């Protein structure tokens, strides 16, 4: 086996990053398909990411540090007041939890002193794009071109109290860059929060986005086999009809799992994160 293949194999086999996020994430709440969001929240399907895709994700994370270094370099060179706070770490002011801990997210950072914005702190979001995606972003702007990213910025800004955001993008093909100022709109944030609340409370999967798995959005979805071809979901408590997210109306979160509280109604007990992942003999899938 070639060295490159060995690298990808190692990346794929790395179990340190669990795909089962404890909470519904703000980064995906802008998806058009409510069923996809519900399936993801309920851990229905394990994403089938190969080493190459995982390396692309890693590159996106690494690009954040490059952007921050360049912003700080410009600030020092031009003697201007750009300040960047990169985060978040656990407990950071740049992370949030809502709906009893079942919905949450964290921003890439915040900054002030940008030429496009008055001297107020602004949310910062960094994204990488392939050439086609980047060209469309430049042509049509964030809201029209990347509605999922737009909603992500809106909900983060709304919950964390920002009025503006700086969206930075880079083209992976040729290193072109793009930036856009986004105004945070309270009404949009409220709508997104209601959407998250609806998905978390749903007892059954929402309606399918399309009748056929051949629809272009469905073809690339990690839940296609379960949604359109009756494959069994992953075995865990969240795909069991007896498990229910609880305490959604509170701001309290479970200290045990960094997410919201889940209850097994069949066994009348509160489930730890490890128990949710394992399932039990009383399991009844959807």
Boundary-marking domain end, from 158, 193, 228: 193
Reported as a pLDDT band with limits 50, 70 and 90, residue 84 is confident
Domain that holds residue 118: 51-193
CATH of residue 189's domain is 3.90.320.10
**Considering the domain boundaries, does residue 25 fall inside one?**
yes
pLDDT score recorded for residue 87: 57
Same domain, 56 and 179: yes
55 and 151 fall within a common domain: yes
Q: What pTM was estimated for this model as a whole?
A: 0.86
Whole-number percent of the chain with pLDDT over 70:
79
Q: Which residue has the higher pLDDT, 33 or 78?
A: 33
76 falls in which pLDDT band (50, 70, 90)? very low
pLDDT score of 37? 98
Beta strand extents in 18-146 (DSSP E only): 24-25, 83-86, 95-98, 103-106, 109-112, 122-129
List pLDDT tens digits, range 188-199.
999 999 999 999
Task: Decide if pLDDT at 91 tops 60.
Answer: no
3-state percent breakdown (helix, strand, coil) of the chain, nearest 5: 40, 20, 40
pLDDT tens by residue, 148-174: 999 999 999 999 999 999 999 999 999
In a domain, 260, yes or no: yes
The last residue of one of the domains, among 143, 167, 193, is 193
Looking only at Cα atoms, what is the longest distance across the chain?
65
Mean pLDDT of the chain: 86
147, 166, 193 — which closes off a domain? 193
Nearest residue to 156 (alpha-carbon basis) of 258, 88, 61, 65: 88
Do 74 and 182 have their domain in common? yes
**pLDDT for residue 196:** 98
Q: How many domains is the chain partitioned into structurally?
A: 2
State the first-to-last Cα distance of the chain, in angstroms, to the nearest integer: 41
Residue 119: cis peptide before it, omega within 30 degrees of 0: no
């Amino acid at each position: 086996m070639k060295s490159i293949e060995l690298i990808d194999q190692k990346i794929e086999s790395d179990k340190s990053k669990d795909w089962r996020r404890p909470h519904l994430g703000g980064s995906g709440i802008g998806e058009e398909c409510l069923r996809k969001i519900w399936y993801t929240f309920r851990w229905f399907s394990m994403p089938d990411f190969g080493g190459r895709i995982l390396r692309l994700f890693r590159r996106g994370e690494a690009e954040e540090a490059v952007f921050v270094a360049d912003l700080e370099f410009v600030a020092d060179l031009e003697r201007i007041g750009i300040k960047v706070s990169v985060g978040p770490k656990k407990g950071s002011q740049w992370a949030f939890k809502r709906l009893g801990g079942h919905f949450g997210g964290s921003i890439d950072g915040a900054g002030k002193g940008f030429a496009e914005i008055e001297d107020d702190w602004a949310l910062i979001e960094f994204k990488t794009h392939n050439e086609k995606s980047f060209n469309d972003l430049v042509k049509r702007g964030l809201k029209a071109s990347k509605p999922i990213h737009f909603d992500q910025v809106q909900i983060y800004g709304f919950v964390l109290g920002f009025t503006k955001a700086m969206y930075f993008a880079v083209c992976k093909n040729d290193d072109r860059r793009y930036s856009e100022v986004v105004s945070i709109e309270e009404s949009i944030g409220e709508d997104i929060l209601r959407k998250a609340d609806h998905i978390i409370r749903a007892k059954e999967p929402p309606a399918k986005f399309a009748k056929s798995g051949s629809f272009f959005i469905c073809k690339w979805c990690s839940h296609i086999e379960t949604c359109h071809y009756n494959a069994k979901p992953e075995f865990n408590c969240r795909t069991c009809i007896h498990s229910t997210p609880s305490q959604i109306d509170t701001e309290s979160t479970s200290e045990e799992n960094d997410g919201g509280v889940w209850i097994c109604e069949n066994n009348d007990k509160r489930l730890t994160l490890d128990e949710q992942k394992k399932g039990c003999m009383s399991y009844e899938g959807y």
